[in-house]
Structures are given as C-alpha cells and as structure tokens.
Structure 1
Amino acid sequence: MTLKNKTVWITGASSGIGKAFAKAYFKEGANLILSSRRTEALEEVKTEIDPSSDRIQILPLDLAQSNTFASKTQEALSFFGNIDVLINNGGISQRSIFEETDLDTIRKLMEVNFFGSVGLTREVLPSMIEQGSGHIIATSSVAGKFGSKFRTGYAASKHALHGFFDSLRQECYEHNIAVTLVCPGPIKTDITKNAVTGDGSSYGKMGDMHEDAMTADEMVANIWSPLMNRKEEIVIAPLKIKLALWMKRLNPSLLNKILKNQKVT
C-alpha cells in the first residue's frame, strides 16, 4: 500500500499513540490532518515532524462535541480534497471502582471513546464510499476484549467499539473500505495520568503496568506491516496478556480467578 499523496486524519494526535501514528504516516509520504482539543500541542507535534511542511494541517476537535463533526469533516476534506485513512485514536481511560464512579463519568467515557469515534466515522464514511476506497482504524484496547477492576466504563466503551466496527466492516467490504481495530496492551504514554477518576477528575499518575511498557513509537513500528496489509484486528501486548485473551475464550472462569488477585493499575 503506497501512502504518497494519501490523506490521513488522526484524532488524539497531540501525544502518545496518535503522535506516533502521525510520524509514521508522514515518513511514508502521507498528508496529515492532526486533531485533538489542544491546538498548541498539535502545533508542537507539527514542529517536531516538519514545521514548514504543507502536508500537515491542524484541525482542533473535541470528541465530546458531536454536533461539530459535520462541519469539521467538511473542513478536513477541504485541506487535501479527500480522506483516505481515518484513525479514531482519541480517547480517555479510567481508574475508579464502579460504586465510587459518578454516572456522568461513565457517560463521558462513552461519549468520547465510543460516540466520538462512531460520530466522526459516520461523517467521513460517505466520502470514502464515493471515492471507492478507504481505511478506517480505531484504537481500541485489550480492555475491549476482557474487563478488569477500575475500568468498568472504559472497558464498556471499548467493548462497544468492537461491536460497532466489527459490524461496520461487514457493510464496507463492497465499497473497498477496510476496518481495522488496534488493541494495545499497556503502552508507555500519559493515558493513565490523564485517566478520569470517579468524580471525573484526573488520576494524575503513571500506571505500574505502563511504566516499563513499550513506547508508542515502538508500538506503531510493531503493527505497521499488518496495518498496511489492512488486517482486521491487531493485538499488540505482552505474552501474558495474549495468553489471557486465549483464556477468555477457552476458560473464562479461570481467567476471572486470576484477574481478581492481580494488581491492574
């Protein structure tokens, strides 16, 4: 798959995995549209990649504001004339037990992680259908495959993504549009620091599992080949988590017994 002159729109592009995607796609010749809430941080990403490039456009976007998606999509299309790859990467995590979590916090997790990706995809999809090609990528998580403590709302939002994008994929085959779910395990980013607690405030700490994990750049490098081959689901995680995924299928009760004694922050 050649990326030269292709246009890639990335949400959550101001840091972490989104930033790593931006660097990798730009290196391969793609045009970039970088989105997140933080314009200044997006400008810093552009400066790091190539401050003078006309192949990088900044488009501020709040995934909790779905009423803006139609106009933002039209603005995105105006930059380069098309969108060939949409990377639904923006999202937030959670660190709180359910009984201490406000319902508004659960709604926020669903609004950003699920409805943000679904709503933006809904606006971009018609242009991909019209051009007869496209690639829709969603950054999910291994939490979209099995749940664990302190992540009730987060896991729910990621499970919902799988149900949606697995179904959408069936509708997109006839239009030559690929749908890929990327399911990382712990990655060394600020996602845990930025996770919400029960009252919606920031967790503010690096998770133990994330401290020694691979970096976002390493993650993208490891999944690049299957991503370019438009693989439908990509799991990038340590062996013990991959084993847990198999156990979830073969012996879920055993997995639950193991997880209840694990430190999962």
Structure 2
Amino acid sequence: MSVSLQDKVVWITGASGGIGEALAHELAKAGAKVVLSARREAELQRVQQSLLAPERHLCVPLDVCDEAQQQQALDAIVAHYGQVDWLINNAGISQRALVMDTSAATDRKIMEIDYFAQVALSRRVLAVMLKQGHGQLVFISSVAGLVGTQFRGSYSAAKAALHLWANSARAELYEQGIRVAVVFPGFVKTAVSMNALTGNGEALGKMDDAQAQGMSAEEFAKITVKGLCRGKSYLVVGGFKEKFASMLGRFAPELLYKLIRKSKVR
C-alpha cells in the first residue's frame, strides 16, 4: 500500500542544501507542504523559492541543538498548518578523523548534533503527533552507522545510536499511530565531507573521492521518498558496495571487518 503525501505537512531539518534540499523538491512534487529548517535563513528562502508552488511551503530557521529554538519552531509550524505529519531528521555533521586523533570535545559535538539534538526534537514533535493520533518520524542515519569504517568512529557511533533509539520508539509507539523509519545513505554527492569535522573540530574543507563519485542527492531523494511512501522502515540507499557491506554486517560480520580493513573510505 502506498501512502499519499498530498497536503501532508513534512518538516525537514538540514534543508538548506544537499540531501535535505533534494528531499524537499521530491516531497513538494508529491504534493506535500514542506517546512524547511536550518541555520542559514537566506539559503532556506532560496530552496523555498525553487520548490513547486513555493507559497505552500514554510521556512523556519533553526539551530537544531538549541532546545528553546526547537520549541519555538514547532509552535510556529503548528500555528501555521495546525499539524505535523512527518518529521525528517536530516540535520547532522560528519567526521574525517582517526579515533586516536579525535578530541573528546569533537566526540561530544558530533554526538550533540547527530544524536541528542535529533532525539530532543523528535520527542517534542511526538507530543504533537500523539495528540493527532498519527505521524511519521524519519531519521537520516548512514551506512557508516551500520558497519563502521576508518575516519568515522564518532560519527558511526552517533548514527548507530540514532538507529537503535528509533527501533525502540517504533516498537513503543506503533499502537498509537506513530510510524518510525530509518534511512541509511551510502556515498551521496553533497558537501558533507567539506563540512566534516577533523579530530580537533575544524572543518575538513575538501571533497572526498568517494563522496565525489557517489549517488546524486536527487536520485537519493527519489528512492527514499518512494520507499517511505511504501511504508518501509529500514532503507539502505546507495550503490552495490554500500548495500553489500550492510548485508555482511548482519550475516557475516567477521568477513565485513576484514574487508573494511582493506577498503579505501576517504
């Protein structure tokens, strides 16, 4: 059974570019009313104006780590639309540093953005969804959160934590009309590696080879929205290598670890 997105209110964090922007376009084409959130208001407005029927959509600037801003944003969305049907937790930051080169401060920053902020926002939105009697949470995790690779120790840990929190929420809230899905992107060609944190917390500032050769954000968005509308709760979206690695992680972990040791992930 396919779910219709016509007139559904879909809130996307991290919507000022990359995967978030591509998802916004795909959702708008499917008839959703899209709420765009990120810190850069000018970029949000650019994205809004590029969407189909821009007047149907809403920009709500947000620093996802600021819980007061989270509540203010949610209040503004409910005041405007009266409901929130989907929340897509897409805001996040990646990492490019070996575990022994990563400071504790960088560990905490990654966990704050990629795990704690997502969970805090989800709880707030869940309060609205439970009153409505329906809603869908979507978490954009990563294949790195399923398999773990070099240079992404803290990032992989945060994305894995998000995945397992979502599993618990899915089980606890299903009977109350809440659906929870986790999407695991492989390499997608965005600026994620440009903004990824090095061990001392600075931005890497360059594109990885693997990222540059990855799937386009537009293709990722099409596959993801199609899968979510079909009711999928677990979506690995990437090339053969990423899908194969995620499968090995479940059925042949020792072989996966051996292959990862020999792999090039930068």
Scaled by the length of structure 1, what TM-score is found? 0.96
Q: Residue 57 of structure 2 aligns with which residue?
A: 56
Q: Which runs of 5+ in 2 are unaligned?
A: none
Which amino acid in structure 2 is aligned with residue 159 of structure 1? A
CA distance in structure 1 between the aligned counterparts of 2:64 and 2:154, rounded to whole angstroms: 17
Which residue does the alignment assign to 2:100?
99
Q: CA deviation at 1:54?
A: 2.5
After TM superposition, the runs of 4+ consecutive aligned structure 1 residues lying more than 3 A away are none
Quote the RMSD (CA, aligned, Å).
Answer: 1.3
Gaps of 5+ in 1: none
Instruction: Give the counterpart letter for 1:56 in structure 2.
Output: H
Q: Which residue of 2 aligns with 1:31?
A: 33
**What SS does the corresponding residue of 1:264 show, helix, strand or coil?**
coil
Aligned residue for 1:179, secondary structure, equals strand
How many residue pairs align between the two structures?
A: 264
CA distance in 1, matches of 2:199, 2:105: 9
Contact 2:215 2:238 (8 Å CA) reproduced: no
Note the C-alpha offset of 1:6: 1.3
> Contact between 2:27 and 2:225, CA under 8 Å: does it hold in 1?
no
Q: What do the CA deviations read for 1:125-155 (whole angstroms, capped 9, x no partner)?
A: 0111111111110100101111011001100
Aligned letter for 2:21?
Answer: K
Identity, in percent, stands at: 40
Distance 1:173 1:251 in 2: 31
SS at match of 1:126: helix
Q: Does 1:114 align with 2:103?
A: no
SS, match of residue 263 in structure 1: coil
Structure 1 residue 68, shift from structure 2 partner: 2.6
Match for 1:185: what amino acid? G
After superposition, what is the alpha-carbon deviation per residue over 1:143-197, rounded to whole angstroms, capped at 9, x for unaligned?
1111011001100100100110000001121112111100010000000111011
What is the CA–CA distance in structure 1 between the aligned matches of 2:157 and 2:248, rounded to whole Å? 20
Structure 2 Cα separation of the partners of residues 28 and 255 of structure 1: 38
| Kept after mapping to 1: 8 A contact 2:86/2:136 | yes
For normalisation by structure 2, the TM-score amounts to 0.95
* Equivalent AA in structure 2 for residue 139 of structure 1: I
Matches for 1:183-262 after TM superposition, within 5 Å: 183-262=184-263
Counterpart residue identity of residue 7, structure 2 = N
Answer whether contact 2:23 2:225 (CA < 8 A) is retained.
Answer: no
